[in-house]
A and B are shown apart, each in its own frame.
Chain A
């Protein structure tokens, strides 16, 4: 494998590029017109323009990406997460073009992409599945009877969906038909299929997931679990490992279940088995994400294993690279996602130029950023700025380190959720590990809305800056190159970026 095309952008593209550099593999980035000067483009050995800003015409275009891979002479394609990562047709197209797809087999992606079939796989592996019903949704009588038997409330989910997208919650029989209609409409529009299924709505569940790696030849290892209950509208905000809610016995059963599911499909590459933990501590299979995930750094820090490099090894036919006994967790890690979102106004995504992005370094802190000062956050893609992850010998110290790191971070430009994160990581319930997937929306945000925040000291700082002319002028970092002046201080490269010895000479083959 001499050259890999990274079919993504932002922080995950940068992450994959770092792994490629460590492996001595030449990298090709792809970018839309508006991303021509983006960080992932600057970090790659070569870059190809693949279309205008709208994702449908660039990062989601199977044709353009496969054609770019061929044009660049790539041997393999890494899909990242999101975009085409779980598009079985894309994986198939890459393989049909004679290239290696760095991920699961296309059939596995297709199988697990149908959440009903994924539930069947779990059942066949003797894993408890969230009580539900996968009958024909046009059989409204059958659906209603099943829902009554499960007990209200029930959830209507898209079969080809995932992550709660398009989900409808139904509390009474009278609402079921309308909810089925709505869910089917959304499903058809978003996923191309109106197939839906029902699941019992578990009360105040916790979201706990297990990282797996398979060699595609029958061996599947797990890398323990991540707790991802701190989420809002099914968007994770903070993730950690280990889960504070699992007993040793429950953990053992959970990871065993995840491996069983992976083995049942002969899983290849990285994946995550998601479960819901109910209030009695029992777990129920939810779905499998057949891709590398946003929160993978949490697992990497706790286990010391490089998941992306493991994907590369598997893709080269070299196996996972380690055995289950080699996976020994140490301490705890917690990740916060910094987004350009206005947390005080419905988390509306924000766009604009980043005047300054100073993310903390230091021991025990890892930062995975997709942007630097001077770069723009646009409306076309997700507004992620960076992931800040802290590691510690125990949960309390990891969270403390994360809090200090967030305090030291500066993101100026579009409104970000940084202040919200700083507030969240100090909450007693959060530090005690006492929350469910509903806590942020039902308990925490209402409290935040009522708080009386004082900005007097910040006003003093602003006034002092006026009086003594201390403010940096952020008015104009240069456009295309993203190379800011003055105020756009850049983060110093971390260890993953500065392994210069692995870079090929003659870098930057330039934009074709």
Chain B
């Protein structure tokens, strides 16, 4: 599998493939490649080793953010990008994103629909509440990135509206 991580202007594409044993993977990240083994140590804490080298890692997830500290190697706040999702930094004015982690329970529009500003296009359920996700601009639906039942992260782009030109 590929994990795409954005850090500022840099994009790290990490290839992970399963290795012979569980909790082991073959990894390539930039100039680094090798077989890594993990040992979970507690919430967000694990040891990772490759060959004779060992590191203590700590990872916290916050929406699309991955806060990572590896002892002796420093820290980074990556933004995880996956298929169909763009990092919030790239968001266009017509993008609809989920305000919190949850599940998409209703998709109310399809690609090509003409929509008004404020029109509800999806419903996300989170913490026993239903959140209406609405079109930020009038225009037409260029893409829908989620289906009913899909989980979603905070900030994840769920749909794209191509804004119509405003005439004032």
**Main SS class of interface, B:** strand
Chain B residues whose C-beta falls within 8 Å of the C-beta of A466 in the assembled complex: 3, 16, 66, 80
Whether A356 is near chain B, meaning CB under 8 Å from some CB there, is: yes
Q: Which of A356, A415, A463, A472 is within 8 Å of B27, CB to CB?
A: A463
Report how far A413 CA is from B58 CA in the complex, Å.
13
8 Å CB contacts to B: which residues of A426-485? 453-468, 470-475
Docked-complex contact B59 and A470, CB < 8 angstroms = yes
Docked-complex contact B43 and A472, CB < 8 angstroms = yes
Whether A410 is near chain B, meaning CB under 8 Å from some CB there, is: yes
A408 smallest CB distance to B (angstroms)? 6
Docked-complex contact B27 and A464, CB < 8 angstroms = yes
Whether A369 is near chain B, meaning CB under 8 Å from some CB there, is: no
Docked-complex contact B60 and A460, CB < 8 angstroms = no
Chain A residues whose C-beta falls within 8 Å of the C-beta of B60 in the assembled complex: 355-356, 412, 471-474, 487
Whether A170 is near chain B, meaning CB under 8 Å from some CB there, is: no
Q: Which of B36, B38, B42, B73 is within 8 Å of A458, CB to CB?
A: B73
B62 smallest CB distance to A (angstroms)? 5
Docked-complex contact B44 and A455, CB < 8 angstroms = no
Report how far A415 CA is from B77 CA in the complex, Å.
8
Number of A residues, CB within 8 Å of B? 37
**Contacts A407-B71, A460-B48 given: A355-B12 contact, CB under 8 Å?**
no
Docked-complex contact B57 and A455, CB < 8 angstroms = no
Docked-complex contact A462 and B55, CB < 8 angstroms = no
Q: Which of A355, A457, A459 is within 8 Å of B62, CB to CB?
A: A355
Most chain B CB inside 10 Å of its own CB: which residue of A422, A455, A459: A459
Q: Which of A407, A415, A455, A467 is within 8 Å of B3, CB to CB?
A: A467
Whether A486 is near chain B, meaning CB under 8 Å from some CB there, is: yes
Per-position binary interface string of chain A over residues 396-425, scored 1 when its CB falls under 8 Å from any chain B CB and 0 otherwise: 000000000001101011010011001000
Whether A489 is near chain B, meaning CB under 8 Å from some CB there, is: yes
Chain A residues whose C-beta falls within 8 Å of the C-beta of B42 in the assembled complex: 489
Whether B32 is near chain A, meaning CB under 8 Å from some CB there, is: yes
Whether B7 is near chain A, meaning CB under 8 Å from some CB there, is: yes
In the complex, 6 of the A-B residue pairs with CB atoms within 8 angstroms, ordered by the A residue number, are A413-B62, A454-B30, A458-B70, A460-B36, A489-B42, A489-B43
| A residues adjacent to B (C-beta < 8 A) | 355-356, 358, 407-408, 410, 412-413, 415, 418-419, 422, 453-468, 470-475, 486-487, 489
| Top 7 A-B pairs, shortest CB-CB distance | A472-B44, A412-B67, A463-B14, A459-B12, A465-B59, A474-B60, A471-B61
